[in-house]
């Protein structure tokens, strides 16, 4: 089988790319190692930047997003047992974010791909990518018990941190930058109304906490925990009590979360990771295959979407004109935005979390930084502009 673009990975990046290519008249095949049920239930991000929302609407995947997504105009920071709201529209030229779970984005894109797009093969295990430096690279995979080969004009690796696409870039030509953080997140889903209309990020001497949501009746909450924590160690009551303690306010001592049955518990390690370059020959990397951010800045899904939006433009330009200049500059174009998002995610993570060996001096520096956000228009605008999303690059110098 041959296709113009072979896409490894049927998560949001791979599916959005396939949809964008379809609307541009470019054929593709998507290979996903997991089954459809797993992909549609995989819990990940829930905050969409405006550029991500715009791309989903433009490719026909915006109907349910517009009907069910929750538009947010800000976040609340809690620190030193006080609260401060960061208003996005007034600080970031009217930009907002939308809460719409990755599970729902994926469901929408899968439905469109199966109804209108090219082949989407679930349980297709990719073993290797060969010929990256030729004009016809190949993807070797197993599907329905048979070894198969897909040849392509271009291969795009959207197969995540543990995928095989990154190995197509020779080890001696790629550089890895990484930071592993000394804490993790214990994340829960609960059948309980959200604690507030917007997300609450809390810094406390007990550790970080985040109150988010998936819908008006389902809360998504996180606690900072030591690396290696077993979720089974945390009873439901212990989780709720610890969340209340970390969100505590002197001005409102009676404030409590709305409790309900906890339906899911998981522990998420925290790391920052970038692989350079994001391309080699006819193989291009996007999303988690090229970079990982800690979730504190809500950048993971949005960075992946930005990658494939830039890549779809480059592939469309090549398909229409034969020119490869945008494809050749793809890695450099995306990496400028990637590193800004890495920096913002690092800032949010290290400012809000309490490290195991943290000194009182370092804690006071964190509170001072948060207080500056609360009292300085410029500091608040910097946070708001990065959180709602920096402009998408449009070309080699964009």
295 part of the active site = yes
For residue 233, what is the enclosing H or E element?
none
Whether 243 and 174 have beta carbons less than 8 Å apart is answered as: no
2-8 and 146-157 strand pairing:
parallel
Specify the pLDDT at position 46: 85
Both structure tokens of 3 = 């296709």
What parts of the chain have a pLDDT lower than 70?
394-398
Whether 97 and 72 have beta carbons less than 8 Å apart is answered as: yes
Specify the pLDDT at position 397: 37
Q: Tell me: domain 2-50+65-70+101-179+271-354, CATH 3.40.630.10, correct? A: no
396 part of the active site = no
Marked catalytic residue, from 154, 201, 222, 330: 201
Marked catalytic residue, from 141, 154, 330, 387: 387
Whether 164 and 8 have beta carbons less than 8 Å apart is answered as: yes
Specify the pLDDT at position 394: 62
Marked catalytic residue, from 12, 22, 72, 330: 72
Give the Cβ contact number of residue 398 at 10 Å.
13
Choose among 392, 291, 313: nearest CA to 16.
Answer: 313
Which sequence spans correspond to the domains of the chain? 2-50+65-70+101-179+271-354
What separation in angstroms does the CA of 114 have from each of 15, 102, 107, 117, 169? 11, 18, 11, 6, 31
Distance in angstroms (rounded) separating the CA atoms of residues 326 and 155: 16
387 part of the active site = yes
299 part of the active site = yes
Count of helices and strands (H, E) across the chain: 12, 19
Marked catalytic residue, from 203, 295, 330, 393: 295
Marked catalytic residue, from 291, 299, 330, 353: 299
List pLDDT tens digits, range 93-117. Answer: 999 999 999 999 999 999 999 999 9
193 part of the active site = no
């Amino acid at each position: 089988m041959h296709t113009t673009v072979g896409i490894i990975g049927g998560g949001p990046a791979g599916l959005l790319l396939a949809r964008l290519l379809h609307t541009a008249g470019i054929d593709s095949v998507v290979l996903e190692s997991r089954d459809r049920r797993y992909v549609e239930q995989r819990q990940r991000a829930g905050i969409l930047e405006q550029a991500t929302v715009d791309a989903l609407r433009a490719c026909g995947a915006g109907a349910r997003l517009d009907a069910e997504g929750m538009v947010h105009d800000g976040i609340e920071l809690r620190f030193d047992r006080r609260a401060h709201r960061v208003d996005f529209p007034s600080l970031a030229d009217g930009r907002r974010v939308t809460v719409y779970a990755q599970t729902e984005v994926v469901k929408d894109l899968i439905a469109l791909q199966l109804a209108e797009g090219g082949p989407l093969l679930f349980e297709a295990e990719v073993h290797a990518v060969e010929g990256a430096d030729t004009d016809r690279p190949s993807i070797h995979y197993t599907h329905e018990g048979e070894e198969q080969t897909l040849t392509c004009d271009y291969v795009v690796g959207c197969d995540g941190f543990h995928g095989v696409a990154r190995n197509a870039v020779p080890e001696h030509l790629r550089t890895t930058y990484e930071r592993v953080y000394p804490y993790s997140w214990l994340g829960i889903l609960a059948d309980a109304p959200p604690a507030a209309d917007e997300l609450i990020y809390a810094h406390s001497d007990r550790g970080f906490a985040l109150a988010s949501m998936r819908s008006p009746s389902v809360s998504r909450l996180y606690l900072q925990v030591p690396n290696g924590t077993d979720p089974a160690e945390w009873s439901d009551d212990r989780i709720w009590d610890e969340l209340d303690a970390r969100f505590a306010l002197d001005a409102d001592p009676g404030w409590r979360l709305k409790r309900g049955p906890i339906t899911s518990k998981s522990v998420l390690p925290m790391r920052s990771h970038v692989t350079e370059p994001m391309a080699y020959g006819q193989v291009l990397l996007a999303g988690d295959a090229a970079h990982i951010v800690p979730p504190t800045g809500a950048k993971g899904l949005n960075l992946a979407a930005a990658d494939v939006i830039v890549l779809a433009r480059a592939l469309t330009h090549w398909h229409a004109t034969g020119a490869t200049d945008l494809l050749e500059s793809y890695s450099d174009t995306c990496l400028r935005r990637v590193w800004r998002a890495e920096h913002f995610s690092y800032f949010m993570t290290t400012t809000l979390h309490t490290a195991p060996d943290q000194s009182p001096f370092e804690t006071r520096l964190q509170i001072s930084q948060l207080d500056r956000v609360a009292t300085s228009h410029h500091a608040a605008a910097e946070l708001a502009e990065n959180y709602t999303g920096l402009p998408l690059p449009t070309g080699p110098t964009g």
